[in-house]
Amino acid sequence: MTENTSETRAESDGGTTADPTNDEMVIETDVAGATDDRDSTATPDPIIRSRDLDVFYGEERALDSIDIDIPENRVTAIIGPSGCGKSTFLRCVNRMNDRIDSCRVTGELSLRGKNVYDDDVDPVALRRRVGMVFQEPNPFPKSIYDNVAYGLDIQDVEGDHDEIVEESLKRAALWDEVNHQLDSSGLELSGGQQQRLCIARAIAPDPEVLLMDEPASALDPVATSQVEDLIEELAEDYTVIIVTHNMQQAARISDKTAVFLTGGELVEFGDTEQIFENPEHQRVEDYITGKFG
């Protein structure tokens, strides 16, 4: 594993400059304006690192040589137009793509230095370390308590489950609304509450990384802002990677932003403020300012 605490950043077109055969190669690039207040405390270690990651659906290329270093305990937003592969990238991290027969992944994607696509990696064990929240709220038709305790039960988590459930619901800012009805069905909640229930479910077994695939896109504005506040709080303890269509949302809640553009390319990755205020690439600026996409 490459321990690199200096300014380490995969450059936008890194795939073309990096030697694809050298997985250990890290491109060091000094980016102007990297000394804003967030980064003044030095960029944390990358928890997720991908090198030359390609994904194909059958013959169709969905991701094109993605090199990225995602820092720990930060919110990293992935934005881009529809079909640019941002959800595909997210689903690579916990290998949910394995469930699609036609999907083929090459290259490296490592979690704390271990390539998750190595043969000896059990995707089930991986997913216990990487939680996921989906676009549509998808609580189980079980009680609120059983929904949150689901991961604890299947993973045989030690400790007092009642306490963990309460703690998770509190962290998901849902406890005050549901503490008197833990036995009622999770489906009786409103859409925004259901999504927070799904977040509570995802964080209950205490994963290291939390993946969020457009978690607020099916919610109304009030519920969206609740979920956004929640994500910012979660970043204190978790590495959050969030895919979103909504650029204002990315600007509001993320520390780092990755811009994927059509063809499955990672065009630019950097501090959110810099991406939104002073992007390096004209295509990124066009996308952010709404000229295309």
Partner 1 sequence: MATDTTTEVAGGFGQVSRTVGQLFRYLLLAATLFGLVFVTILLVYVANDAIQPLTADPGWHLTFFLALVVPTLAAGAYVYRRDGEAFQTGALAIGLAVVSLMFSGGAAMIFADIVEPLTFLAFLVAVAVPGVVTLAVVAYDDRIPFLGQFAVTVAAFYLSLFGVPGPLGAAAGISSVVPGVFGLLAGVPLAPAPWLLAVLSVGLPLAAVGGSLVARDRGRRARLFAGAGILAVPLAGGIVGPFVGVDPLPATVVASVGFVPPIVYAANVAINVPRERVALLIPVTIIVGALVGAFAVDLAGFAGPQSWVDWAFLTASHSNTAEDAGFYPAIGGSILLMVTVAVFAFPVGVGAAVYLEEYAPDNRFTRVVDVNISNLAGVPSVVYGLLGFGLFVTYLGQPDGTVLLGGLTLGLLILPIVIISAREAIRSVPEEQRAASYGMGATKWQTVKNVVLPRSFSGILTGTILALGRAIGETAPLIMIGAPNVTYSLPTSFSEAASAMPLQVYAWSSLYAGPNFYNKVVPAGVVVLVAVLLAMNSIAIVLRNKYQVGD
- Which residue of 202, 259, 267, 288 would you call a contact of partner 1, by CB under 8 A? 202
Write the interaction track for partner 1 spanning residues 127-166; mark x where CB under 8 A is met and - where it is not. xxx-xx-x-x-xxxx--------xx-xxxx----------
Instruction: Give whichever of 42 and 125 is closer to partner 1, judged by the CB atom.
Output: 125
CB-facing half-sphere around the CA of 93: CA atoms within 13 A: 32
For residues 122 and 95, the answer to whether their CB atoms sit within 8 Å is no
205 near partner 1 (CB under 8 A): yes
Burial (CB < 10 A; 0-12, 13-18, 19+), residue 5, is exposed
198 near partner 1 (CB under 8 A): yes
Q: What are phi and psi of 255, to 5 degrees?
A: -90, -40
For residues 47 and 2, the answer to whether their CB atoms sit within 8 Å is no
Rg (CA), the chain: 19
14 near partner 1 (CB under 8 A): no
217 near partner 1 (CB under 8 A): no
Is the backbone of residue 80 left (phi > 0), alpha (psi -120 to 50) or beta? Answer: left
Instruction: Give whichever of 14 and 151 is closer to partner 1, judged by the CB atom.
Output: 151
Of 88, 46, 52, 85, the residue nearest 67 (C-alpha): 52
Tokens of 221: 């504005």
* CA-to-CA dists, residue 62 to 24, 69, 97, 152, 259, angstroms: 24, 19, 12, 34, 15
Rounded CA-CA distance 15/121 in Å is 25
Instruction: Give whichever of 28 and 153 is closer to partner 1, judged by the CB atom.
Output: 153
238 near partner 1 (CB under 8 A): no
Shortest reach from residue 194's CB to partner 1, in Å: 11
Single-letter amino acid code for the residue at 227: V
57 near partner 1 (CB under 8 A): no
Shortest reach from residue 124's CB to partner 1, in Å: 5
- Which residue of 124, 170, 237, 291 would you call a contact of partner 1, by CB under 8 A? 124
Write the interaction track for partner 1 spanning residues 94-123; mark x where CB under 8 A is met and - where it is not. x-x--x-x----------------------
Shortest reach from residue 186's CB to partner 1, in Å: 11
Write the interaction track for partner 1 spanning residues 70-99; mark x where CB under 8 A is met and - where it is not. ------------------------x-x--x
175 near partner 1 (CB under 8 A): no
For residues 212 and 230, the answer to whether their CB atoms sit within 8 Å is no
How many residues interact with partner 1 (rule CB under 8 A)?
Answer: 28
Judged by the rule CB under 8 A, the positions of this chain that interact with partner 1 are: 94, 96, 99, 101, 124-129, 131-132, 134, 136, 138-141, 150-151, 153-156, 198, 201-202, 205
